[in-house]
A and B are shown apart, each in its own frame.
Chain A
Amino acid sequence: MSTFLLIIISGLGLGSLYFLLAAGLSVIFGLMRVLSFAHGAFLSASGFASWMVLRSFETPSTPQLLLALVVSVLTGGAVAYLAEVLLVRPLKGKELEQLLVTVGLGMVLVALMAGIWGPDEHLIPRPVWLTDTTSIAGAPISNSRLLLIGLAGVVVVGIHLILSRTRYGLIIRAGVENSAMVSALGINVKRAFTLVFVAGGMLAGLGGGLAGTYYGGISPFLGDGMLIFSFIVLIIGGLGSINGALIASVVLGVSQSVANYYVLNGIGDVLVVVLLVATLLVRPQGLLGQKERLI
């Protein structure tokens, strides 16, 4: 029983990482109709920003960890802001070109990071308590997983509060349905586009900071590896649906962990692809996505 709980919580931790990346991508696609392939690189860049803060301490304290997380969130937001203003916005209305420019940006950023810090993983020093475990129902659960799940939970609540209680949330929810009509009510949707793209970058940034604590290290390719699974989360959950992304993240993370442990190590990735194909066959719009023709 304790082993099963351990596997489930590990899966939830993995699902939390997917969600942090997928949540931003989902809202960005919903509002802007842009599939950003650069957010994986944003995650890696933010992870490196966190690593640069933490590597100066042999055993970082909790406030130093928090500082690193703040730096990684700000890095993700700043890189996303520059990408939106300089590359995505000038290509407004050209969805294929916008997609391709994010692919190119992602490749350039990864190559840049590999050029500066090398392709190998860099270990990230962590506070002692983060490398420790907490016993839950007899299962020794890694504190890094609990931190990840807890912060992902805070993000879920935060996103729902923003979407339901603020005017920008209202604009985003309406814009996901019909951004042209939002403009026709006198609202500057471009500002909402930038805000959403930056918010997606900040979530990727948080993911980068936390991925370092989850895996214990950071490499230029970490984000791209996670990006693939986050896109699968998007498709299974339904493009543009935050709740769909949440459900799909949990399902994928837990399924992967359970399959890897109980069936065969590595089979979890195959299971994810099976789930993707099954979703596309049975419910092409995803669990909570809207039926629409994209082309």
Chain B
Amino acid sequence: MTAERVYGDAGPGLGGSILSVRDLHAYVGQSHILQGVSFATRPAQVTAILGRNGVGKTSTLRSVLGLMNHTGVIEFDGRQISSLETHEIIRLGLAYVPEDRDVFHGLTVAENLRLAERRGLAPDYDRVFELFPELRNRRGQRAGTMSGGQQQMLSLARALLHDNRLMLVDEPTKGLAPRLVSEFVATLEQITAHTSVLLVEQNLAVARRLADHVIVLSEGRVVLDGAAEDVLADDSSIRRLLGVAADHEEG
């Protein structure tokens, strides 16, 4: 199956991309999760990967980061990164905000942040505490005792401790109360103003607000790929592909 390009030459293509993925395949056990995914992200843009649960959105991010076995070509800023280890990929200037936050529960907030400091680079604690002032007051608190929203703040804060060229953010609003969703989206808007982002998101309203470029996955393949306003314009088909009802849209 070939992805439908919603725009002509105006949308993102491999030329000038910060991240390009070609013919990506990944397996979990016997399941063929990614079946030849190809796309590219452009600098200073938010690329949103949309799709129903289980279509391979998280697997795409994890494959880019070398966190799961895969085949295919992945280039970051023109450099092949498929064979690199996860920590080597991250050190090229990527940051990862995983689904379910994955903060270290037994460590304090300060320790979680200290762990994200990279050797030879000055961490920007001012920016982190400006965006998330609550974390400053909770530095001595164990992350495992914080609420889901506070853990999400910490997860994002870890990724923002240094300037990155591309942030991979997986469902940042998942499980958050509606009030927190709008707060997070506002924060993400600030972040995306100066950093390229590859965003996995189930919440269509969040995707509409943040994304410049949208990729829709279905059954491990890219079925739509184009500028956000074009891809998201056909409301009924996008809802069908994402499996959301009209009243499900939040934000």
Contact = CB atoms under 8 A, between A and B. Distances in A.
Nearest to B159: A185
Interface string B167-210: 00000000000000000000000000000000000000000000
Contacts of B114: 167, 170
Contacts of A185: 87, 90, 115-116, 158
Interface of A is mostly: helix
B115 to A, nearest CB: 6
Interface of B is mostly: loop
Contact of B102 (A167, A173, A178, A190): A178
Interface residues of B, number: 21
A168 to B, nearest CB: 11
A100 interface: no
B115 A177 contact: no
Interface string A175-203: 01110111111111110000000000000
Contacts of A177: 104-107
Contact of B87 (A173, A174, A178, A183): A183
Contacts, number: 56
Interface residues of A, number: 19
A204 to B, nearest CB: 26
Contacts of B86: 180, 183-184
Contacts of A232: none
A5 to B, nearest CB: 37
A171 interface: yes
B91 interface: yes
A178 B210 CA distance: 30
A18 to B, nearest CB: 24
A176 B96 CA distance: 19
Interface of B: 65, 67, 85-87, 90-91, 96, 98, 102, 104-107, 111-112, 114-116, 118, 158
